[in-house]
Structures are given as C-alpha cells and as structure tokens.
Amino acid sequence: MEFDSLPSFARWFLSQPFRALRPPRSLVYFYQTEGGIVISTVLCRHGQYQVELFAGPGPGFFPPHRHPNVDSIEVMLGGDVGFRVGERTVFSEAQLASTASDGASLVTGQRIRVRPTDQHGASVGEAGGAFLSIQRWLNDVEPTSVGLDWDGPAHLAIRGVA
C-alpha cells in the first residue's frame, strides 16, 4: 500500500477495523529515563509508515528530545500527558483534567504534529497516560521504535520480542 504523506497514512490507519493491525514480530520496547518509564508497542507497519502505542504509569518526566529520522502525528488516547513541542505546552492542566460524563478524557483523539526537527517532551501525571504515535520514517532508516531514533539525554532502551 502506498501513501503520499503522513496525514494520508494517519487518516487511513484511523479508519481501519482492528484486523488491519499489522505488528511486526519484534514489537515491544521499554524505555526508562531519569524521570519516567514508558512501554511502546508497534501496532502497524507498512514500509516506512508505522503506528506505535505508548503507555506509561505516572508520575514521570521525559526531557526535551527529538527523533531526527521520524515525522509523526501523536494522537491522545487518555490520561495525563502534558506534551510540550518547542516552548509550547499543548494541553493545559485543566484540559487534561476534563472528562466527559462517561469519564473519558476530553483530549482523546486530539492530534499533535511532531516534525524531525522539533524538540519535544512530556510530563506524565499520577493518572499515567497513553497515546498513539503515527510515524513516517525518513532518510531510508528502517522503522523500529522512535525511542531508538533519539537525540536527547541518555535513556535506557530495551527491545522486547513478542
């Protein structure tokens, strides 16, 4: 399947039924920084495009970093993830704390563009949090996990096999 841009891949993925998930055999990664722990799972990969689910318990902090070979769209699932892109805080504390009558987060489904040159980071509150990272890998770099394509403070990265 061919895609002409990251947004077209994101639209396609988000419109697929669950059976469209195409995870590779090696799909689980564990990351630890001085301030937090997160686990990622690759849900789908098509050539240079992939979708990775990130989830972590709170509290935690992930320092400013970038992924030089990845263009991505982050899609909030829920919890308390305070994204920063450059100097901009994406969601206010009030937005992150807001819920619908059924308890679902009001930021669920919100999208955040993170380009390869963008310094970004996150704080994770007591509730923990989860988001999808919809990615296009650039410069002929083989997709793995964005945590392995990392330009920032050192962190522990463990690759798991499922």
**CATH no., domain 6-10+21-160:** 2.60.120.10
pLDDT at 26 over 80: no
State the pairing for strand pair 70-85/37-46: unpaired
In tens, the pLDDT along 73-89 reads 999 999 999 999 999 99
Angle of CA points 115, 134, 109, to nearest 5°: 105
Burial tier of 72 (Cβ tally within 10 Å: 0-12, 13-18, 19+)? buried
Determine the Cα–Cα distance for residues 140 and 159; give it in Å rounded to an integer: 21
- Sorting pLDDT into bands at 50, 70 and 90, what band is 162? very low
Task: Report the run of H or E that residue 11 belongs to, with start and end.
Answer: helix 6-14
Work out the percent of the chain whose per-residue pLDDT is above 90.
Answer: 65
Contact 42, 24 (CB under 8 A): yes
Q: What is the pLDDT of residue 160?
A: 63
Contact 135, 52 (CB under 8 A): yes
| DSSP structural state of residue 57 | P
DSSP β-bridge partners for residue 158: 30
Give the global pTM: 0.87
- Average of per-residue pLDDT across 81-107: 92
- Sorting pLDDT into bands at 50, 70 and 90, what band is 25? confident
- Average of per-residue pLDDT across 144-159: 89
**Every domain of the chain and the residues it spans:** 6-10+21-160
Q: What is the pLDDT of residue 21?
A: 78
In tens, the pLDDT along 56-79 reads 998 888 999 999 999 999 999 999
Determine the Cα–Cα distance for residues 35 and 99; give it in Å rounded to an integer: 26
